[in-house]
């Protein structure tokens, strides 16, 4: 009985260590992209509602500040990955760039709202929509 358990544990360990590194990175990329997309779209909704006079500026600033922290978390979580093949290195660079773009856009909105500059925040809407769409596509890479 003990031997069977030991063999089972060993098999699980071997199988998990043999997981396809490209697949592992795709999963991590998809997860981080979905997390970041959620924050980018939250920021987009906040700016659109602010523009429509549906939201107070301090509440919008608060929501966008929280979204910025969320994008940072998703970005740093993905940047800790270790690409080990040429394919995964390419994917790593592409996803990192997309996440960085998203973070830049959300940070720009946070700064604009902090300065009371709604026009500058509205200018980021196109970038936010583009980032959201790009991250959405990466999010579909894996379950």
State the residues that interact with other proteins by CB under 8 A. Answer: 30-31, 34-35, 37-38, 41-42, 45-46, 49, 53-56, 58-59, 61-63, 66, 70, 136, 139, 143
Which residue's CB is nearer to other proteins, number 108 or number 141? 141
DSSP per residue over 50-112, as a string?
Answer: HHTT-S-HHHHHHHHHHHHHHHHHHHHHHHT----SHHHHHHHHHHHHHHHHHHHHHHHHHHH
Which residue's CB is nearer to other proteins, number 35 or number 124? 35
CB of 135 to other proteins, least distance (A): 9
> Terminal CA-to-CA distance of the chain, rounded, Å?
36
CB of 49 to other proteins, least distance (A): 6
């Amino acid at each position: 009985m003990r031997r069977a358990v030991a063999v089972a544990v060993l098999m699980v360990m071997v199988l998990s260590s043999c997981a396809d590194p490209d697949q592992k990175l795709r999963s991590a990329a998809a997860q981080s992209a979905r997390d970041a997309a959620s924050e980018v779209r939250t920021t987009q909704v906040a700016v659109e509602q602010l523009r429509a006079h549906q939201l107070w500026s301090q509440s919008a600033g608060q929501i966008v500040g929280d979204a910025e922290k969320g994008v940072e978390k998703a970005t740093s979580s993905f940047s800790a990955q270790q690409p080990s093949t040429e394919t995964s290195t390419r994917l790593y660079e592409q996803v990192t760039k997309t996440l960085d773009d998203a973070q830049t856009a959300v940070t720009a909105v946070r700064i604009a709202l902090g300065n009371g500059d709604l026009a500058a925040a509205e200018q980021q809407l196109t970038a936010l929509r583009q980032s959201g769409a790009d991250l959405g596509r990466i999010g579909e890479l894996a379950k």
